[in-house]
Amino acid sequence: MSTSETTRNDRRPSPMDRFRQLPLRSRLAMLTAVAVAIAVALSAAACWLITRDRLTEQLDAQLSRVEVNPSYVQALSAYCANPDDGVRFQPTPYTIQLVSAGGYVCTSPEKASIPAQRPDTAVAEGRLESTVHTTKAEGGAEMRVWTKQYGGPLTDAQGKRLAISVAVPMEQVTQPLDQLALVLLIVAGVGVLGAATAGLWVARAGLKPVDRLTDAVEHVARTQDLAIRIPVDGEDEIARLSRSFNSMTAALAASRDLQQQLIADAGHELRTPLTSLRTNIDLLVRSEQSGRPIPSADKVALLASVKAQMGELAALIGDLQVLSRPSEPGQSAVEVVALHEIVGSALERARLRGPSLTIAADLAPWYVRAEPAALERAVVNLLDNAVKFSPPGGTVEVRLCGGELTVRDHGPGIPQDELPHVFERFWRSPSARSLPGSGLGLSIVARTAEQAGGAVRLRSADVGGTEAVLTLPGAATPPPGIPEPPRPQEPPQGPQ
């Protein structure tokens, strides 16, 4: 094993890999909890910041309204000049101190001194009217300080005017904020836990149809039972998926039934010629083995029957091969073909099969997109049916005009109750079961017409017989690049 492969195999899965390995409902619950946690955290942070700003503004407004008694200022100045004079100060909740331009501060003895900051000295120098800021006293307590110019006659030792600072502990702001942070933390935790629980419940409820679909697919894979159906509720994506699955299983079931029916019908149709072949061959073999020759006329009849049964068997196998081809677009060689030429070629074959019939044709040019071999076979099947059911000396009328090919015979016709079944595989009219054929010819015609984008139908003619109509989309003129041949002249028709 190479070094790169060893490194790749030894690499530990990343958190994202572990997340992808979790069940879908767990991932949905986690994503819901994370989304709610982020939203709650942002809301809590915004609430805490807004509350802090409002409380600080209120504290600043409170400090700005404090009026310092001039006597207190004089006592404080005297105390700073001579601390031993025993000056007494009135109790006050504020820390009041004098600030000089040099940064010297004078504070009453019962209060902790607050070091002067640059904004404070700027006010003492007269460069600022007032300032407010937060700093720490010498004892470490956090203080909110409001410094403004003092309007009285008091000056420092150099004769410069002093500034006066009024400070209050920030506990009035920090304590409510700490309590609010605790409450927000508890609410956020409860919200996240509730969101995770709700997300798990929603994931289970939302994925229940998917679980039913999964169970159904596993059941089909395990038992091949295509009759199972999933209940469909609503019009959402899961309902559409369930309907699609039901449609798919129904189509598969129908396809399997058709396949089984085709096999059964093919076996039934193959049994008749095979039985006849076996009987005739047994007679010939028994005659040779017993030494009693069959009369010449009977032998000729037996061989003719064997040949006919072989031909019928070959035709049936050929029809089954045609029907077994895939019907998807692009599976066959589709090209532009001249339908009138294909019909003309099929007419020649039909005249050979019905030499006593009169076949009258009127063919107008028509070009279609289709598979040439399949289209010719379909036309031949229509003409073969007309020849097969026409009485001796009868007439078959063939007309091609505007993409509609009409083939009409003057035979016994098809009863109205049998017309819906004529295009079914292996279906044969009770009155025609004694005639040769596999019962697949019209099925091949219908399939070819569908592949070419057309349609075929049978109907009873007005004065007896049957009329087959094959309609194919196309044009009377060929596309560019294909020369238009002259319209063929049909010779006078009569008994061939």
Residues forming a β-bridge with 135: 143
189 domain residue, yes or no: no
Instruction: State the total domains in the chain.
Output: 3
Contact status, residue 376 vs residue 342, Cβ threshold 8 Å: yes
CA angle 177, 180, 186 (to 5 degrees): 145
Give dist(CA 438, CA 313) in Å, integer. 9
pLDDT digits (tens, 9 = 90+) for 279-303: 888 888 888 888 788 888 878 888 8
Give dist(CA 454, CA 446) in Å, integer. 9
Q: Residue 4: its pLDDT value, please? A: 52
Residue with tokens 């600080």: 56
Provide the CATH number for the domain around residue 456: 3.30.565.10
Do 358 and 458 share a domain, yes or no? yes
User: How is 385-407 classified by DSSP, letter by letter?
Assistant: HHHHHSPTT-EEEEEEETTEEEE
Give dist(CA 261, CA 255) in Å, integer. 10
pLDDT at 49 exceeding the cut of 90 = yes
Q: Which helix (H) or strand (E) holds 66?
A: none
Q: Residue 10: its pLDDT value, please? A: 55
DSSP letter (8 states) at residue 475: B
Do 467 and 366 share a domain, yes or no? yes
Position 244 confidence tier, pLDDT thresholds 50, 70, 90: confident
Among 300, 324, 348, the domain-final residue is: 324
The domain containing residue 140 runs over which residues?
85-172
User: How is 111-172 classified by DSSP, letter by letter?
Assistant: S------HHHHHHHHTS-SEEEEEEE-TTS-EEEEEEEE--SS-B-TTS-B-EEEEEEETHH
Q: Higher confidence at residue 85 or residue 383?
A: 383
Average pLDDT for residues 227-234, to the nearest whole number?
76
Judging by DSSP bridges, how do beta strands 358-363 and 395-401 pair with one another? parallel
pLDDT, the chain, mean: 79
Position 392 confidence tier, pLDDT thresholds 50, 70, 90: confident
Q: Residue 485: its pLDDT value, please? A: 54
Do 345 and 440 share a domain, yes or no? yes
Do 251 and 310 share a domain, yes or no? yes
Q: Over the Cα atoms of the chain, what is R_g?
A: 52
Instruction: List strand residue ranges (DSSP E) for 161-278, in order.
Output: 163-169
Q: Higher confidence at residue 144 or residue 459?
A: 144
Q: How far is CA 257 from CA 75, 321, 440, 443, in A?
A: 112, 19, 18, 17
Do 257 and 367 share a domain, yes or no? no
1 domain residue, yes or no: no
pLDDT digits (tens, 9 = 90+) for 96-139: 888 888 888 888 888 888 898 999 889 888 888 889 999 998 88
Provide the CATH number for the domain around residue 97: 3.30.450
Give dist(CA 407, CA 415) in Å, integer. 18
Joined together, the tokens standing for residue 415 give 């009863």
Do 302 and 341 share a domain, yes or no? no
361 domain residue, yes or no: yes
Provide the CATH number for the domain around residue 277: 1.10.287.130
Of the listed ranges 38-47, 275-284, 310-319, 321-330, the least confidently predicted one is 321-330
Average pLDDT for residues 44-51, to the nearest whole number?
92
360 domain residue, yes or no: yes
162 domain residue, yes or no: yes
266 domain residue, yes or no: yes
Joined together, the tokens standing for residue 126 give 């007269």
What's the whole-model pTM score? 0.46
| Phi, psi (rounded to 5 degrees) for 309 | -65, -35
Do 435 and 341 share a domain, yes or no? yes
Q: Residue 495: its pLDDT value, please? A: 42
94 domain residue, yes or no: yes
Q: Residue 200: its pLDDT value, please? A: 79
- Residues 20, 26, 29, 34: is their CA dihedral positive or negative? negative
Do 157 and 253 share a domain, yes or no? no
Give dist(CA 315, CA 377) in Å, integer. 12
pLDDT digits (tens, 9 = 90+) for 197-219: 887 787 777 777 777 778 888 88
Do 369 and 264 share a domain, yes or no? no
Among 278, 305, 324, the domain-final residue is: 324
Do 463 and 349 share a domain, yes or no? yes
pLDDT at 87 exceeding the cut of 50 = yes
First-to-last C-alpha distance (Å) of the chain: 83
Contact status, residue 375 vs residue 452, Cβ threshold 8 Å: yes
Among 172, 191, 217, the domain-final residue is: 172
pLDDT at 255 exceeding the cut of 80 = no
Position 329 confidence tier, pLDDT thresholds 50, 70, 90: very low
Do 385 and 461 share a domain, yes or no? yes
Q: Of 283, 316, 289, give the one whose Cα is nearest residue 301.
A: 283
Do 344 and 464 share a domain, yes or no? yes
Position 55 confidence tier, pLDDT thresholds 50, 70, 90: very high
370 domain residue, yes or no: yes
Q: How far is CA 423 from CA 420, 448, 463, in A?
A: 7, 12, 23
442: left (phi over 0), alpha (psi -120 to 50) or beta: alpha
